[in-house]
Chain A
Amino acid sequence: GAVVSQHPSRVICKSGTSVKIECRSLDFQATTMFWYRQFPKQSLMLMATSNEGSKATYEQGVEKDKFLINHASLTLSTLTVTSAHPEDSSFYICSARAPGQDSSPLHFGNGTRLTVT
């Protein structure tokens, strides 16, 4: 089945620094990937839709200059949290769907636990 890999699984950074999270589709090509954020005991909230070769589409209230998304290839999307602050500490999860399979369900990575100190 479709496998999505995320790296790193957890990261601790100091306030003001930037952190990059990678999301890879391992056995399929993904023209579209999705980035979610999840706070403890809460549901997944979509942050942005990452489109290969074009700009990401951000959800309302998500700062595109703070959460930079780059989808440079069909198997890799990256999310960079710039100038991180403690309130950015969260669980970030990516997901992907194989191209041409709009009806297929999303498969999720294992998430990245970001802690900003």
Chain B
Amino acid sequence: GQQLNQSPQSMFIQEGEDVSMNCTSSSIFNTWLWYKQDPGEGPVLLIALYKAGELTSNGRLTAQFGITRKDSFLNISASIPSDVGIYFCAGQRWQGGKLIFGQGTELSVKP
């Protein structure tokens, strides 16, 4: 199935550092979502974006819906050990449509 291009694939950072990851697509999406998945569990929604150019924060997390509607980024500020996990972007082309997922970014945080 089709996937979004998510990068980087993995990151190893020191506690306290900021993190940035992004997703790009060759086609337009009307909704961008960011999820975090811990080992052995389902994805948990972090941020949902519905409008091109929208910038939304959730605590230390900030995500933006690209103006072209073909990309989105997620920033995590002042990372902490519990930020460890796999982060997925997901795009939806129309309301009620299926989600297409990025390949994921595996984040490791060294205390």
- A residues sitting closer than 8 Å to B (CB atoms) are 4, 6, 32, 34, 42-46, 49, 59-61, 91, 93, 95, 97, 102-103, 105-111, 113
Contacts and interface: CB of A to CB of B under 8 A. Distances in A.
B5 to A, nearest CB: 11
Nearest to A60: B1
Contacts of B44: 108
Given A105-B33, A105-B48, A43 B102 contact: yes
Contacts of B41: 110-111
Contacts of B96: 32, 97, 102-103
B102 to A, nearest CB: 7
Interface string B70-111: 000000000000000000100000011011111110000000
Given A43-B88, A103-B31, A93 B95 contact: no
Given A43-B104, A109-B42, A103 B95 contact: yes
B43 A108 contact: yes
A42 B86 CA distance: 10
B40 to A, nearest CB: 7
